[in-house]
Structure 1
Amino acid sequence: MLIVVLAVALLTAVIPFAAHRARQALYPQKYEDCVRMYAQEYGIDEKYIYAIIRTESGFDPKAESDAGARGLMQITRETFEWIKTKIAPDEQIGFDSLYDPETNIRFGSYFLSFCLERYDGDLSTAAAAYHSGVSKVNELLKQSEYSSDGRTLHTFPYSQMSNYVRKVQKNYEQYCALYS
């Protein structure tokens, strides 16, 4: 009987730990030094950067979308060129540099911080802008069926945008639960 009690006690302690470790494997914190550094530099929660990376590329630094977005945080050429004027105007880096994890996280984190600041820290609206573009979100903010305050979206009218925002929110919630 004592052996059974000890076995149950051991399993009760081990199973939750193993389940937690398994969930962490699904929601990794790769590129931790870069994420931490740029999260601090741009004033962003690290877990939000991880949620974007997981949603965008699944942590594949060589990922490329049908639209030509590149790297971990999936940045398009147009967005890269705009960000470069803001944070690296004198640096000799090109669009191919986005395959480098540090460069990609640096540029993506800057753009994410820009979106968060522009939309009053609203994670959903910032994610929509990160994915679909600031100009598209700005258009939607003018329409009362999508925004009640003109600053944040309460409805995401396009299925791709809505699915993206939902994935980012789910990933962020998981990162918060696992790493808080």
Structure 2
Amino acid sequence: MTRIRHLPLAAAFVAAIAASPQARADIFSFTDERGVVHFTNIPGLDRRYKLIRREAGSAVPRSGQAWMPSEADIRRFSSIIDVAARSHGVEAALVQAVITAESGFNPNAISRAGASGLMQLMPDTARRYGVRNIFDPVENIHGGVRYLRDLLAMFKGDMRLALAGYNAGENAVIRAGNNIPPYAETQNYVPKVIQYYHRFRAKPG
């Protein structure tokens, strides 16, 4: 995520993002209470973000319908996801759902909190699971899926709590009495990922 204070520079920044071969062309923005302009190329990161530039040919979601990545993006990483899911005993649909919510299938995504890559691993989590190159799709996905597996085991298969732990950290879930922590981001994140999960499970093939 990038913050820009001066709107003329912001316009130039938008053009630079759109021209970058590594960035998604859909660009979202909002201006905070201090007048700082925030940009991201990750859909669904924060409710305040509004779409300001759409990739040519990309579909506009229907009202109330969650954004979904393109089939090309899904296919690009499907074999890695399938291998990681089978290796670590996690449903591929759940992995796809987490990636959709975390990075929108952008392997170069970086969050304002410092999480990186497809599954938005924090540096400490990446080190815990032996991820050396956090932007490498294979390493990032395997590290993220192993973390998700451990969270599911920790919370006895409760997907809601595992997802809350993935978003806010397992200790936050424990401090909340093994409930979803009372953070707006986490309260929004869990049902959003579950919605994506059901949509991926319903996809043919």
Q: What TM-score do the two structures reach when normalised by structure 1? A: 0.70
1:75 is aligned to 121
State the structure with bigger RCO (CA 8 A, min sep 6), 1 or 2. Answer: 1
Q: Which runs of 5+ in 1 are unaligned?
A: 1-22, 85-92, 142-149
1:15 is aligned to none
Any idea what the Cα deviations from partners look like across 1:21-49, whole Å, max 9, x if unmatched? xx784693441111111101110000000
CA positional deviation for 1:176: 1.2
What is the alpha-carbon root mean square deviation over aligned residues? 1.9
Q: What TM-score do the two structures reach when normalised by structure 2? A: 0.62
Whichever residue aligns with residue 100 of structure 1, its letter is D
**Greater helix share, 1 or 2?**
1
Closer/same/farther in 2, CA of residues 132 and 115 from structure 1, 3 Å limit: same
Aligned-partner Cα distance in 2 for 1:58–1:109: 16
> Is the Cα contact below 8 Å between 2:173 and 2:181 reproduced in 1?
no
Choose the corresponding residue for 1:122, options 158, 162, 184: 158
**Greater strand share, 1 or 2?**
2
Indicate whether 1:101 and 2:137 are aligned. Answer: yes
Indicate whether 1:42 and 2:67 are aligned. Answer: no
> Is the Cα contact below 8 Å between 1:129 and 1:136 reproduced in 2?
yes
Closer/same/farther in 2, CA of residues 77 and 24 from structure 1, 3 Å limit: closer
1:110 is aligned to 146
Any idea what the Cα deviations from partners look like across 1:102-154, whole Å, max 9, x if unmatched? 1100100100101111111111110000010011111112xxxxxxxx5xx3x
Aligned residues: 137
Give the 5 Å matches for 1:4-153.
Answer: 25=70, 28-84=74-130, 94=132, 97-141=133-177, 150=178, 153=179
Q: Which runs of 5+ in 2 are unaligned?
A: 1-67
Indicate whether 1:167 and 2:192 are aligned. Answer: yes
> Is the Cα contact below 8 Å between 1:70 and 1:99 reproduced in 2?
yes
Tell me which structure has the larger Cα radius of gyration: 1
